[in-house]
Amino acid sequence: MRATIAIFIDAYRELNSRKLFWVVLLISLMVVGMFACLGIDSRGFTFLHWSIGVGFINTAVMSEAVFYKQFLFTELGVKFWLGIIATILALVSTASIFPDLVSGGSIELVLSKPISRLRLFFTKYAAGLLFVTLQVGVFSVGSFLVIGFRGGVWEPRVLLAIPIVVLFFSYLFCVCALLGLLTRSSIASLLLTILIWFVVFILSASQTGVTVMRSMAEERVRLLEEDIARRERELERLQGVEQAPSLAAVGNSILVASKVSRLEDRRKRLPGAKSALRNVIWIDRGMRGVKAVLPKVSDTKDLLERAILTTEERERLIRDAEREMSSIDMGGDDEEIRVDMGKVQRQAIERKYANPVWWIVGTSLAFEAVVLGLCAWVFCRRDF
Amino acid sequence: MPAPVATGAAARFDGEWVIDVRNVDKQYKSGLLGRGRVHALRGIDMRVHRGSVFGLLGPNGAGKSTLVKILMTVIRATRCDGTFLGAPVGDKATLRRVGYLPEHHRFPDYLTAAQVLDFYGALSDVPRADRRRRSRELLELVGLTNWSDKKVRVFSKGMRQRLGIANTLMSDPDLVVLDEPTDGVDPVGRRDIRNILARLRDERRTVFLNSHLLSELEMVCDRVAILVQGVVSSQGTIEELTRHSRRYEIEVGQESPAAVAAAVSSLSMNVPLSVSGAIVTIRTDDPTAIQPALDALRARDVVIRGVRPARASLEDLFMQAVTDPGTGRAIAPGAASAARGEAGNAAREGLGIETGARS
């Protein structure tokens, strides 16, 4: 235990000696300060006592609580600042931990101590996460106070950002640790980690896109089938009407012919739509399979949104997104079988929320466990 | 040097052999797929007695650091029998009783000297109160008291080396392993380090020293081993290793070389005798054996300027061990080759040295 405490104290001293740690902490505090200065009223944004009128965001669109919790804290603070900028800075600060540990002249000093390599590795790893924990801790506590004082809502679930962001960072840090052990280079491990992060992000974004396409294809098949069924019933009704030869009968037969033609057109389209749906389902399953073994970086960050927004607040956000997307006209089709993008958007969001937390966290932690297992194997078996 | 090296050793190792290893073998994988093999150590046998100062020497690439790193668990041996402080080699708990100064060690430069000692002391499981006390004492011992609160990054190489020596003593160890301890240290610092080593020996601690500075090893070591291309070329006390090179040198006046030649040729001694310029060399360590030679020289009125006992220096032993007798050139550095085995054997035979001698 004495050795473990010493490694943690050393990690703090190391962080303390790095200017970047204090720079990031300072910027975090400035971001929180900026949040405190921002607000909304009936006209738009406010900055201190100035009001800036904008149409798309005001108290009619969202409440002050949602503005602070969802817009400022979750979207800007966590997803953008902590999730991207601060994460990159944290990786820059921590990328050298393992290359420094295994560098010649340094590793001999620690490996020759009565501490097992496994314990040494995992203690160093945990100490590396200390960086992000302190950063997110300061940011989240600051944001909690801002949301409380400015938004009027004392929301302790905001502090869930600490474990969620640390969890998200740990997915990247374990990759960085493995690359650091293999390459012994801070720069190489940093750049490769960011590259892998980018690839995972692209795969995740592509999978989301494919999910939207799947919803569109499903909706299109459903609309076609419903339209065909409706037309068949209508045609049956028209053909069932016994009429004496007359002008009306001629008109009716022309109408029937027209309906038959439309029906045949729909029937011709249906196999193509079903085939497209089958294809997109296969692609979606394939991408879900690939995504299952990778860390869910975006989904993990979205967990915070799930945690801090009430059901009503979330439903309102979905409705807004649905309304926004409904205005998009995909064109091409007749009105009866035109896909409503708003509905597709709602399905995509609901499908995203339908992913259970255990699946998001569990599969990501499984990835992390595998990578850390590899790290431990490399570290314990290597001759230095 | 006012402060004691250490105090209150709790459970001291009381076995006879601090290091008693056999068949130490290390093969490194090489090549892209790891199919190649580099044989760094080839079945080393080594014993280090408790309370002795043991010197390990050898040319670059001989495997000295590999052997030390195997003992310190930094490298895993391909094979290693025997014990280290009474436990199997690789036992982590044993390292509590060992202080180790690696060659080219690098302390975190954001720490002060006192923090370095505190951190590595904690890793060695030294209680906090002991760390504080020992830190003060040891910094005083190595002459860094006024630098205890200064960051290591501002230290010169010699100061870092002194700090490294202090660090090895933090855990009040039974065994101190020093890899090139005087590297980068000025003459005053070297003398201080030698004094520390002498004190450690007086306290019955064992010191395992790995150095290129042969004259320094000669001054402090009880026993030495010469490692060449992964095998122990020779091992023993300096007395044992130089027994066959002991001789008496008689310095004579240059006035009558003919008289010297006549005196030498008249002698019928059963020890080798040779004349080179003004020096008559008699290969014996028995002073009575040279008396007939002195009598013969004096009988021919040869002036005797001096008589002195002589023996090969550690450097002579080292050079002979690393020289290929066939070519007269130094054996190539690096891991052993098939040809080296023969050359090494021939060199050892030339020296009359026992191979891999067990004491």
Task: Give the tens place of pLDDT for each residue, A240-278.
Answer: 766 666 767 777 778 778 888 888 888 888 899 899 999
| A381 close to B (CB below 8 A) | yes
- Torsion over CA: A343, A347, A348, A353 (sign): positive
Judge: B102–A5 Cβ closer than 8 Å, yes or no: no
| A242 close to B (CB below 8 A) | no
Query: A53 - beta bridge partners?
Result: A44
Q: Which of B24, B26, B92, B208 to mutate to test the interface with A (most CBs of A within 10 A)?
A: B92
Tell me which residue in A2, A13, A107 faces B122 most closely, judged by beta carbons.
A2
Residue B276 CB burial class (10 angstroms; 0-12, 13-18, ≥19): exposed
Query: Sorting pLDDT into bands at 50, 70 and 90, what band is A330?
Result: low
Contacts of B96 in chain A (CB under 8 A): 114
- What are the structure tokens assigned to B39, written together? 């044989």
Q: Which of B119, B157, B179, B180 to mutate to test the interface with A (most CBs of A within 10 A)?
A: B119
Residue of B256 and B72 predicted with greater confidence: B72
**CA–CA min distance B114, chain A (Å):** 13
Judge: A114–B107 Cβ closer than 8 Å, yes or no: no
The pLDDT value given to residue A280: 93
Using CA atoms, how far apart are residues A268 and A262, in angstroms rounded to an integer? 10
B334 lies in some domain: no
Using CA atoms, how far apart are residues B34 and B54, in angstroms rounded to an integer? 35
Query: Sorting pLDDT into bands at 50, 70 and 90, what band is B130?
Result: very high
Let me know whether B102 and B251 are in one domain. Answer: no
Q: If you ran DSSP here, which 8-state letter would residue B127 be given?
A: -
Q: Which of A107, A123, A383, A384 to mutate to test the interface with B (most CBs of B within 10 A)?
A: A383
The pLDDT value given to residue A2: 86
Residue A54 phi, psi (nearest 5): -135, 150
The pLDDT value given to residue A174: 96
B298 lies in some domain: yes
A105 lies in some domain: yes
CB atoms within 10 A of CB A240: 7
Judge: B102–A112 Cβ closer than 8 Å, yes or no: yes
Let me know whether B115 and B226 are in one domain. Answer: yes
pLDDT (mean) for A64-91: 83
Task: Give the tens place of pLDDT for each residue, B197-210.
Answer: 888 888 888 999 98
What's the whole-model pTM score?
0.79
Residue of B125 and B4 predicted with greater confidence: B125
Of chain A residues 145-164, which have a CB less than 8 A from chain B? none
Chains A and B form CB pairs within 8 A to the count of 85
Q: Give chain A's length.
A: 384
- What are the structure tokens assigned to B195, written together? 């004094």
Domain membership of residue A201 as a residue range: 2-206+353-381
Tell me which residue in A105, A106, A114 faces B96 most closely, judged by beta carbons.
A114
Please state, rounded to an integer, the average pLDDT across all residues of chain A: 86
Nearest residue of A to residue B108, measured between CA atoms: A106
The pLDDT value given to residue B355: 37
User: Does residue A196 register a pLDDT over 90?
Assistant: yes
Residue B208 phi, psi (nearest 5): -110, 115
| A19 close to B (CB below 8 A) | no
The pLDDT value given to residue B58: 85
A254 lies in some domain: no
Of B75, B97, B76, B78, the residue nearest B86 (C-alpha): B97
Judge: A105–B108 Cβ closer than 8 Å, yes or no: no
Let me know whether B227 and B282 are in one domain. Answer: no
Judge: A14–B96 Cβ closer than 8 Å, yes or no: no
Please state, rounded to an integer, the average pLDDT across all residues of chain B: 82
The pLDDT value given to residue A181: 95
The pLDDT value given to residue A126: 93
Let me know whether B210 and B77 are in one domain. Answer: yes
Contacts of A115 in chain B (CB under 8 A): 92, 123
Of B261, B287, B285, the residue nearest B274 (C-alpha): B261
Greatest mean pLDDT among A224-238, A320-334, B81-95 lies in B81-95
The pLDDT value given to residue A243: 62
Quote the number of domains for chain B.
2
**CA–CA min distance A105, chain B (Å):** 4
User: Does residue B6 register a pLDDT over 50?
Assistant: no
Residue A375 CB burial class (10 angstroms; 0-12, 13-18, ≥19): buried
A230 lies in some domain: no
Q: CATH number, domain at B200? A: 3.40.50.300
pLDDT (mean) for B7-20: 70
Task: Give the tens place of pLDDT for each residue, A139-157.
Answer: 889 988 988 888 777 888 8
Judge: A114–B69 Cβ closer than 8 Å, yes or no: no
Instruction: Express as a percent the part of chain B with pLDDT over 70.
Output: 88
Domain membership of residue B205 as a residue range: 17-240
| A109 close to B (CB below 8 A) | yes
A300 lies in some domain: no
Residue appearing with tokens 């799930």: A306
pLDDT (mean) for A292-298: 89
Let me know whether B228 and B262 are in one domain. Answer: no
Let me know whether B282 and B225 are in one domain. Answer: no
Residues of B with CB under 8 A from a CB of A: 28, 69, 72-76, 92-96, 98, 100, 102-108, 110-111, 115, 118-120, 122-125, 127, 167
CB atoms within 10 A of CB A165: 27
- What are the structure tokens assigned to A54, written together? 């904008």
Nearest residue of B to residue A112, measured between CA atoms: B72
**CA–CA min distance A293, chain B (Å):** 28
B319 lies in some domain: no
User: Does residue B348 register a pLDDT over 70?
Assistant: no
Q: CATH number, domain at B286? A: 3.30.70.100
Query: Sorting pLDDT into bands at 50, 70 and 90, what band is A113?
Result: very high
The pLDDT value given to residue B334: 55
The pLDDT value given to residue B164: 93
Contacts of B120 in chain A (CB under 8 A): 109, 113
The terminus-to-terminus CA distance of chain A in angstroms comes to 25
Task: Give the tens place of pLDDT for each residue, A340-379.
Answer: 788 888 888 887 788 889 999 999 999 999 999 999 999 9
A53 lies in some domain: yes
Q: What is the CA radius of gyration of chain B?
A: 24
Let me know whether B102 and B218 are in one domain. Answer: yes
Judge: A105–B106 Cβ closer than 8 Å, yes or no: yes
Tell me which residue in B73, B100, B122 faces A3 most closely, judged by beta carbons.
B122
CB atoms within 10 A of CB B87: 14
A214 lies in some domain: no
Give the DSSP letter string of A127-194. HHHHHHHHHHHHHHHHHHHHHHHHHS---GGGGGHHHHHHHHHHHHHHHHHHHHHHH--HHHHHHHHH
Using CA atoms, how far apart are residues A21 and A131, in angstroms rounded to an integer? 8
The pLDDT value given to residue A241: 66
CB atoms within 10 A of CB A378: 15
- Do B242 and B311 touch, CB atoms closer than 8 A? yes
Residue B43 phi, psi (nearest 5): 65, 60
B328 lies in some domain: no
| A126 close to B (CB below 8 A) | no
Judge: B123–A113 Cβ closer than 8 Å, yes or no: yes
pLDDT (mean) for B137-155: 91
B285 lies in some domain: yes
**CA–CA min distance A339, chain B (Å):** 56
Let me know whether B45 and B97 are in one domain. Answer: yes
pLDDT (mean) for A83-97: 87
- What are the structure tokens assigned to B285, written together? 């360590």
Tell me which residue in A2, A10, A112 faces B73 most closely, judged by beta carbons.
A112
Residues 6+ apart with CB under 8 A from A335: none
User: Does residue B359 register a pLDDT over 60?
Assistant: no
Quote the number of domains for chain A.
1
Residue A286 phi, psi (nearest 5): -60, -45
| A112 close to B (CB below 8 A) | yes
Beta strands of chain A (E only): which ranges? 38-40, 44-47, 50-53
Nearest residue of B to residue A14, measured between CA atoms: B110
Contacts of A104 in chain B (CB under 8 A): 104, 106
Query: Sorting pLDDT into bands at 50, 70 and 90, what band is B46?
Result: very high
Let me know whether B179 and B109 are in one domain. Answer: yes
The pLDDT value given to residue B332: 62
User: Does residue B341 register a pLDDT over 60?
Assistant: no
Query: Sorting pLDDT into bands at 50, 70 and 90, what band is B270?
Result: confident
Query: Sorting pLDDT into bands at 50, 70 and 90, what band is A167?
Result: very high
Judge: B106–A3 Cβ closer than 8 Å, yes or no: no
The pLDDT value given to residue B356: 39
pLDDT (mean) for A121-133: 90
> Which of B240, B265, B293 is the C-terminal boundary of a domain?
B240
- What are the structure tokens assigned to A269, written together? 């389209």
Task: Give the tens place of pLDDT for each residue, A202-249.
Answer: 998 898 889 888 888 888 899 889 888 988 888 888 777 666 667 677
pLDDT (mean) for A49-60: 77
The pLDDT value given to residue B188: 82
Of B44, B64, B20, B48, the residue nearest B206 (C-alpha): B48
Let me know whether B116 and B223 are in one domain. Answer: yes
